[in-house]
C-alpha cells in the first residue's frame, strides 16, 4: 500500500536491506558462523520479544535502555511485553528455563538477529539494528575471557577489518564494587555543579555512568575522580592481570581504560568495547563483559558467564566490499520471439537442475536491449534462441568475456556454460 501523500510509511530509524546489500550481510553471517563454530559455539535462536521483566531485572531499572529506550506493549491478556533491546538477558532466561546447566556440552552459544531500542536515530544508530552475539557459561577462568576476545578479533580479522582498538577494564565484583561506589559518590557529590543535567540525575542512582559521559564538562569534572584501578579486591585484580597477560601475545591493540563502564547493570569483572576510529560519534562496534551473577538472578544455579555482541550495521560500514565478489549468473537466457519462450523456459529449468545459476530475460525487446541486460547481469554467457535456432533445436551461446559465439544443440548448452 502506497500512501497518497508524500509521507512514507517506514518507521524512523529502521532500514530495508535490499538484495545488493543483503549479499554482504550473508557473507558476514557466514563468516561469523564458521569462525564461532571453530571455537565450538552452537547457535541459539531466541524469541524477538520477552516479558518486560526479563530486561528490567537484568539490564537495570536505572539504565538508559530500561528508562527510555524499550519498545514495550501490553498484550491482549494484559501482560507487559518488550521487543528485545539486546540478546544476553533472553539467552540467560533460556539457559535457566531450558536447564542447559545440566548439559555441560552446551555452554557456548551464539545468536544473530534484530534488536530494538527507541534511541534518537543518527548515523550508526538505528531503532531496529542487528547484533551478532556470543555467550559462554560455566567458567570464571581468565582464559575464557581472553579466548572470547580472541574469537571476536579472529572474526574481525577474517573479514579483514583493521584499525580496531580494544578498550578493556575490570569493573570489580560485589565484594569490591560497593566500596568503590561510595568513594566515587563522595567525589561526585562535591562536583555536582560541574556535571550535565543527565549526570546530575545519574549520580545517586548509577554513579559509574558519569565516568562514561560524552560531555566535555563532565569529562573535565571527573578527570581526578577515583577509578576502579586502585579499588579492586585481590581476586579481581588477579583475574584482570591474567586476562591481560593472555591477550598480550596477540596483535590486538589493547587500551586499558579504568573509566570504561557499560550501560547495562549486569556486568562485573571484565568489561570491554571494540572501537573503530573510522566510525564517527557512534564508534563502538562491539561490547561485552562478564555477568557472573545473572544466571543466579534468573533463578538458576550460580554460574559465571561472559559474552559480547557486535553491531552488524556498524560493521558493514567498515567492510571493504570489494573483497567480497558477488556471485554472478553463469548464463543469461534470451528468447527473441514469443514462440521461443517455452524453449527458453525449459532450458532454464534444465540448467538449474544441473545446479547452474541462470537468469532468464522475461521480456523480449530488441536483441540489442536484451544483450545490454545480459551484460548488466554480469553473466559469463548469453544464450539466445530466435526462430532460426528454434527450428533446428539449437541456441547461440555467446561468451560475454571474449565475445566468441557459437551455435550449438540445446542439449550441449549446459556442457559449454558449465565448463
Q: Which residues bind ligand HAM (CB under 6 A)?
A: 86-88, 117, 119, 125-126, 129, 131, 133, 135, 263-264, 284-289, 307-311, 313-314
Identity of the residue, 110 or 180, whose beta carbon is nearer to ligand HAM in the bound complex: 110
The distance of closest approach from Cβ of residue 128 to ligand HAM in the complex, given in angstroms and rounded to an integer, is 8
R_g of the chain computed on alpha carbons: 28
Quick one: how far is CA 373 from the chain centroid?
35
Q: In the complex, what is the shortest distance from the CB of residue 171 to ligand HAM, in angstroms, rounded to a whole number?
A: 12
3-state SS assignment for residue 326: coil
Specify the 3-state DSSP secondary structure of 264: coil
Among candidates 133, 84, 116, 131, which has minimal Cα distance to 13? 116
Is residue 91 within 8 Å of residue 308, measured between CB atoms? no
Shortest distance (Å) from residue 1 CB to ligand HAM: 28
Nearer to ligand HAM, 32 or 264 (CB): 264
- The residue whose Cβ lies closest to ligand HAM is 311
Cβ 271 to ligand HAM, closest distance in Å? 9
Min separation Cβ 31 and ligand HAM, Å: 17
Q: Got the DSSP string for 4-47?
A: SSS---SPTT-----HHHHHHHHHHHHHHHHHHHHTT-EE----
Least spacing, CB of residue 414 vs ligand HAM, in Å: 45
Of 314 and 398, the one with the shorter C-beta distance to ligand HAM is 314
Q: How far is the CB of 218 from ligand HAM (least distance, A)?
A: 20
- 380 within 8 A of 399, measured Cβ to Cβ: yes
Residue by residue, what is the 3-state secondary structure of 58-112?
HHCCCCHHHHHHCCEEECCCCCEEEECCCCHHHHHHHHHHCCHHHCCCCCEEEEE
User: In this complex, which beta carbon is closest to ligand HAM, that of residue 57 or of residue 314?
Assistant: 314
SS3 74: strand
DSSP state of 121: P
* Shortest Å distance, C-beta 319 to ligand HAM: 14
| Residue 229 grid cell | 584501578
Closer to ligand HAM by Cβ: residue 167 or 183: 167
- CB closer to ligand HAM, 51 vs 125: 125
Kindly report the length of the chain. Answer: 419
Q: Which residue, 129 or 332, is less far from ligand HAM as judged by CB?
A: 129
Through-space distance between the first and last CA atoms of the chain, rounded to whole angstroms: 45
Reference 194, options 213, 225, 217; nearest CA is: 217
Question: Nearer to ligand HAM by C-beta: 319 or 416?
Answer: 319
User: What's the CA gap between 354 and 309, in Å, rounded?
Assistant: 40
Name every residue whose Cβ is closer than 8 Å to that of residue 26 and which is 6 or more positions away in sequence.
Answer: none
CB of 294 to ligand HAM, least distance (A): 9
Comparing CB distances to ligand HAM, the nearer of 316 and 408 is 316
Distance between alpha carbon 91 and the CA centroid of its chain, in Å?
16
C-alpha cell at 311: 553491531
Work out whether strand 381-385 and strand 394-399 pair parallel, antiparallel, or are unpaired: antiparallel
Is residue 247 within 8 Å of residue 149, measured between CB atoms?
yes
Amino acid at each position: 500500500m502506497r500512501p497518497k501523500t508524500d509521507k512514507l510509511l517506514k518507521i524512523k530509524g529502521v532500514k530495508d536491506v535490499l538484495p545488493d546489500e543483503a549479499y554482504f550481510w550473508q557473507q558476514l553471517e557466514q563468516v561469523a558462523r564458521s569462525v564461532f563454530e571453530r571455537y565450538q559455539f552452537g547457535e541459539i535462536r531466541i524469541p524477538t520479544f520477552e516479558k518486560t521483566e526479563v530486561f528490567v531485572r537484568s539490564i537495570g531499572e536505572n539504565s538508559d535502555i530500561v528508562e527510555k529506550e524499550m519498545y514495550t506493549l501490553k498484550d491482549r491478556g494484559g501482560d507487559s511485553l518488550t521487543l528485545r533491546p539486546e540478546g544476553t538477558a533472553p539467552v540467560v532466561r533460556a539457559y535457566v528455563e531450558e536447564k542447559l546447566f545440566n548439559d555441560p556440552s552446551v555452554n557456548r552459544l551464539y545468536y544473530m538477529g534484530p534488536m530494538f531500542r527507541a534511541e534518537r536515530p543518527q548515523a550508526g544508530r538505528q531503532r531496529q539494528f542487528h547484533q551478532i552475539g556470543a555467550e559462554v557459561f560455566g567458567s570464571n577462568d581468565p582464559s575464557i575471557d581472553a579466548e572470547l576476545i580472541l574469537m571476536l578479533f579472529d572474526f574481525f580479522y577474517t573479514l579483514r577489518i583493521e584499525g580496531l582498538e580494544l578498550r578493556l577494564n575490570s569493573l570489580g565484583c560485589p565484594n569490591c564494587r560497593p566500596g568503590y561506589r561510595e568513594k566515587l559518590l563522595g567525589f561526585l557529590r562535591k562536583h555536582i555543579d560541574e556535571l550535565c543535567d543527565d549526570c546530575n540525575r545519574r549520580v545517586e542512582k548509577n554513579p559509574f555512568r558519569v565516568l562514561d559521559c560524552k560531555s566535555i564538562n563532565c569529562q573535565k569534572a571527573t578527570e581526578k575522580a577515583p577509578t576502579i584501578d586502585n579499588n579492586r579486591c585481590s581476586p579481581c585484580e588477579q583475574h584482570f592481570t591474567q586476562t591481560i597477560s593472555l591477550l598480550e601475545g596477540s596483535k590486538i591493540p589493547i587500551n586499558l581504560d579504568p573509566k570504561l563502564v557499560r550501560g547495562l547493570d549486569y556486568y562485573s569483572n571484565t568489561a570491554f568495547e571494540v572501537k573503530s576510529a573510522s566510525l564517527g560519534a557512534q564508534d563502538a562496534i562491539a561490547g561485552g563483559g562478564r555477568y557472573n551473577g545473572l544466571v543466579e538472578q534468573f533463578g538458576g544455579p550460580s554460574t559465571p558467564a561472559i559474552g559480547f555482541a557486535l553491531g552488524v550495521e556498524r560493521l558493514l560500514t567498515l567492510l571493504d566490499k570489494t573483497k567480497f565478489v558477488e556471485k554472478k549468473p553463469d548464463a543469461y537466457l534470451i528468447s527473441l520471439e514469443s514462440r521461443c519462450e517455452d524453449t527458453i523456459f525449459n532450458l532454464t529449468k534444465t540448467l538449474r537442475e544441473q545446479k547452474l545459476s541462470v537468469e532468464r530475460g522475461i521480456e523480449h525487446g530488441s536483441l540489442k536491449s536484451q544483450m545490454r541486460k545480459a551484460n548488466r547481469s554480469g553473466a559469463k554467457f548469453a544464450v539466445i534462441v530466435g526462430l532460426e535456432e528454434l527450428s533446428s533445436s539449437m541456441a547461440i551461446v555467446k561468451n560475454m568475456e571474449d565475445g566468441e559465439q557459437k551455435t550449438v544443440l540445446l542439449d550441449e548448452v549446459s556442457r559449454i556454460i558449465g565448463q
